Structure 1
C-alpha cells in the first residue's frame, strides 16, 4: 500500500519532506501606486474639472471697467494735488491688467488689450486732471468743461506734454501687460 503524497508546502504532513524556506514576500503597499503588485489608490466618485480659464469676453469687459474707474481715480488724484504721480500711472496699468487676467484667464490677447486700455485710461485721467485744474481757476464745473470745451482741454494737455508724460504712458502699459500675465497664473 502506498502512502498518499501530501500537497507540497505542508511541513506537518506525514512523510513529507521539509519545505525549503523561502524569502518572505513583502505585502503590497497601498500608498505607493508604483509598487509592484500594489493596487492604485481609490479615486473619489466625482472629481471636479478644472475651471475654464480663458474667457476673453469677460476679461475685456473687466479690463474696460477697470480702465474707466482707474483713469477717473488717476485724474481725480492728479487734479486734486495739482501734479501727476508716476506710481499712480503704474497702479492704473496694474489694475487694468490684473482685472483682465483674473477675469479672462490666460488668453494671449488680454495682456496686449490691457496695455492699450491702460494707455487710454492714463490719457483720460490726464484730461480729467486738466479739466479739474481749469475748473478750479475759472469756477466752472468739470462736467461743463469736459462736455462743452473738450477741444480746449486737449489743447492744454498738448501744451503740457513732456518726456515725463510719455514715461507715465510706458509705465502704465508695462504694468498692465505684466499684471495681466501674473494674474492669469
Structure 2
C-alpha cells in the first residue's frame, strides 16, 4: 500500500515556500524594525574613505609625511654619512604624492608640497649631521639636536655645497610633480 503525499497547503508547516526576496514571497517583518518593506528604497551608501579634493586634509597629510620622511632621510644620511640624491627625490615625491592624492587638484598643493620638501630635506640633513656628530662626540643625537641646534645649523652652512642645494632643488621639483601625479 502506498501513501500519497498531500499537496502543499496553508496548514502544512513543511510546505515549500518561495525564497525570501523572491517575487510574491512574504517579507519578514516579524518584529525587525530594519526589515525591508515592500516598495521601500535603500538609503544612499556612506563613503568608506574621506572625500578627495579636501585641501585641509591634504595639507595635514603633507606635513605629517614631511616630518616622517625627514626622519627617515636623516637616518639614511646618518647611517651612510653621505647625502643621497635619490633619497631626497623620494622625500619630495612622497610628500607631493600624498598631498595630491588626498588634496586633489588644488593648485596650492604642488607649491606647498615643494616648500615642505625643502624643509624636510633640510631637516633630514640636520638629523643626519646630529647622528654623525653624536657618534663622534659620544652623546645622544637627540640631545645634540635639541640642545645644540645652533651648532648643527652652523655645521650645515659650513659644509653646504652645490650638491646640497641641488638635492634641495631636486626634492622640491619631485614634490611639485608628485602632487600633480597624485591628483590624477
- Normalised by the shorter chain, which TM-score bucket? 0.7 to 0.9
Corresponding residue number in structure 2 for 1:127: 126
Q: State the number of aligned residues.
A: 140
Give a deviation string over 1:145-169, Cα, whole Å, max 9, x none.
0111000011100100100001001
Q: CA deviation at 1:94?
A: 0.3
Corresponding residue number in structure 2 for 1:111: 110
Instruction: State whether residues 89 and 172 of structure 1, in contact with CA within 8 Å, keep that contact through their aligned partners in structure 2.
Output: yes
Of structures 1 and 2, the larger Rg is shown by: 1
- Runs of 4+ in structure 1 displaced over 6 angstroms? 45-48
Q: CA deviation at 1:120?
A: 0.2
Q: Where does the alignment leave 5 or more consecutive residues of structure 1 unmatched?
A: 1-44
Alpha-carbon distance in 1 for matches of 2:147, 2:157: 18
Corresponding residue number in structure 1 for 2:177: 178
After TM superposition, the score normalised by the length of structure 1 is 0.72
Q: Where does the alignment leave 5 or more consecutive residues of structure 2 unmatched?
A: 1-41
Corresponding residue number in structure 1 for 2:14: none
Q: CA deviation at 1:84?
A: 0.7
Instruction: State whether residues 53 and 106 of structure 1, in contact with CA within 8 Å, keep that contact through their aligned partners in structure 2.
Output: no
Instruction: State whether residues 89 and 171 of structure 1, in contact with CA within 8 Å, keep that contact through their aligned partners in structure 2.
Output: yes
Q: CA deviation at 1:103?
A: 1.0
SS in 2 for 1:170: helix
Corresponding residue number in structure 1 for 2:3: none
Instruction: State whether residues 74 and 89 of structure 1, in contact with CA within 8 Å, keep that contact through their aligned partners in structure 2.
Output: yes
Give a deviation string over 1:24-80, Cα, whole Å, max 9, x none.
xxxxxxxxxxxxxxxxxxxxx9998x9953210000011001000101100100110
